[in-house]
Amino acid sequence: MEAGGTRRFTRRTWFKAAATLSAVAAADALILEPRWLEVTTRRVLVPGLPTPLEGLRVAQLTDCHLTGVNFLEEKIARALDELAPQLVVLTGDIVDSNERFGALSEWLTLLKAPGRRLIATLGNWEHWGRVTLPDLRRRYADQQCELLVDEWSALSSAGLGVGVYATDDSTGGRPRGVKAYPKGKLAAQILLSHSPELLDSALASPRFDYCLSGHTHGGQIRALGYAPVTPPGSGRFVAGEYSTPRGPAYVGRGTGTSVVPARFCARPELAVFELARG
What is the distance between the alpha carbons of residues 164 and 152, in angstroms, rounded to a whole number?
6
Vertex 218: Cα angle to 118 and 61 (nearest 5) = 10
What is the distance between the alpha carbons of residues 234 and 231, in angstroms, rounded to a whole number?
6
5 found inside a domain: no
2 found inside a domain: no
Expressed as residue numbers, the domain containing 31 is: 10-277
pLDDT at 124: 98
CA 40 to chain centre: 12
Amino acid residing at 190? I
pLDDT at 34: 83
The set of residues, in sequence order, having a beta carbon less than 8 Å from that of 157 and lying 6+ positions away, is 52, 53, 56, 86
Map residue 154 onto helix, strand or coil: strand
4 found inside a domain: no
155 found inside a domain: yes
Q: Is the peptide bond before 206 cis (omega within 30 degrees of 0)?
A: yes
pLDDT at 225: 77
Q: What single DSSP character describes residue 173?
A: S
At 60, which CATH number?
Answer: 3.60.21.10
242 found inside a domain: yes
Q: 151-157 and 117-121 as β-strands: parallel, antiparallel, unpaired?
A: unpaired
Angle of helix 133-142 relative to helix 101-111, nearest 10 degrees? Answer: 30
Number of domains into which the chain is organized: 1
pLDDT in tens, the chain (278 residues): 444 555 555 655 444 444 433 443 444 444 578 889 999 999 999 999 999 999 999 999 999 999 999 999 999 999 999 999 999 999 999 999 999 999 999 999 999 999 999 999 999 999 999 999 999 999 999 999 999 999 999 988 666 789 999 999 999 999 998 888 988 889 999 999 999 999 999 887 889 999 999 999 999 998 877 888 899 999 999 999 999 999 999 999 999 998 888 898 999 999 999 999 98
84 found inside a domain: yes
Strand ordering across the sheet containing 240-244? 151-157, 160-166, 188-192, 210-213, 247-251, 240-244
1 found inside a domain: no
Percent of the chain with pLDDT over 70: 88
3 found inside a domain: no
Q: What single DSSP character describes residue 180?
A: P
pLDDT at 141: 98
Alpha helices in the chain (DSSP H): 11-27, 71-83, 101-111, 124-128, 133-142
Q: Are 155 and 86 in contact (CB under 8 A)?
A: yes
Q: 269-277 and 57-61 as β-strands: parallel, antiparallel, unpaired?
A: antiparallel
What is the distance between the alpha carbons of residues 195 and 198, in angstroms, rounded to a whole number?
6
Q: Are 148 and 133 in contact (CB under 8 A)?
A: no
**Model confidence, pTM:** 0.88
pLDDT at 204: 78
Burial of 5 (0-12, 13-18, 19+ CB in 10 A): exposed
Q: Are 110 and 73 in contact (CB under 8 A)?
A: yes
